[in-house]
Structure 1
Amino acid sequence: MKDILLDDKGDLKLSETGDIQFTDSVKQAIAIRLRWFQNEWKLGPELGIPYYEEAFVKNPSLVLLEDLMRDAILDVEEVTDVENLVLTLDRYLRKLSVSYKVHAGQSSIEGRLTLDV
């Protein structure tokens, strides 16, 4: 699926001439799904991860967050299987690191991103 290319922080990545660029990146689609808050998009309020209810609480359940993230990754059209998903919570820095390995068609894709919680 075509999408506008984003940088590592989620901002538009422009070409040297200032034009937008397009990508077919499954890795980018996964990052978008994992950064998407439930109720963030008024045309699909049920979409996204319920971070306010499940992650931004005193003692978040990593098991529940892992299930929610696994489902979000599987919602990416090209992803057929989530082989590995590891969440690491740094309570002091309030960071959640997400590492994953997925299958999309004949390819295996690995990625890692950090979310502020």
Structure 2
Amino acid sequence: MRYLNSLGLSLLLIGVSLPALADEANPGQGCYGYLTEMVRSSDFPYRDFTTPERLKLLIDRDDGDQLSLQLFYETSGSGVIGWVRYDVPQQALWNVSIDPEEPQALKFDRRFAQAYAACLKAR
């Protein structure tokens, strides 16, 4: 029985360390952080709902050139704030929450777009 407990603990510890190994093997997986910081630095009006450090993104669609991102924060109710679209080749960020057909261009720190592009190239 003690052998099984030790084996279970060993498997648990190995399982906990696997995400770090996956990130090292696939450096492109870490590119998400640059997207998050890009949106946090933007003039999207999320600050009406939450603070920058609590803002999170969910990648809804990624076709390589266009990303559709849902903005949200953790809460006991609905924490969805809105949607943005990121044009990868043009390095342009758009607020598409109100009208996806007429998106509003967002200002943001361009260093995050450059870091995201470099991260994608490193994949």
TM-score, structure 2 normalization: 0.30
Name the TM-score, length of structure 1 as normaliser: 0.31
Structure whose residues are more often strand by fraction: 1
| Bigger share in helix | 2
Of structures 1 and 2, the one scoring higher in RCO (CA 8 A, sep 6+) is: 2
Larger radius of gyration: 2
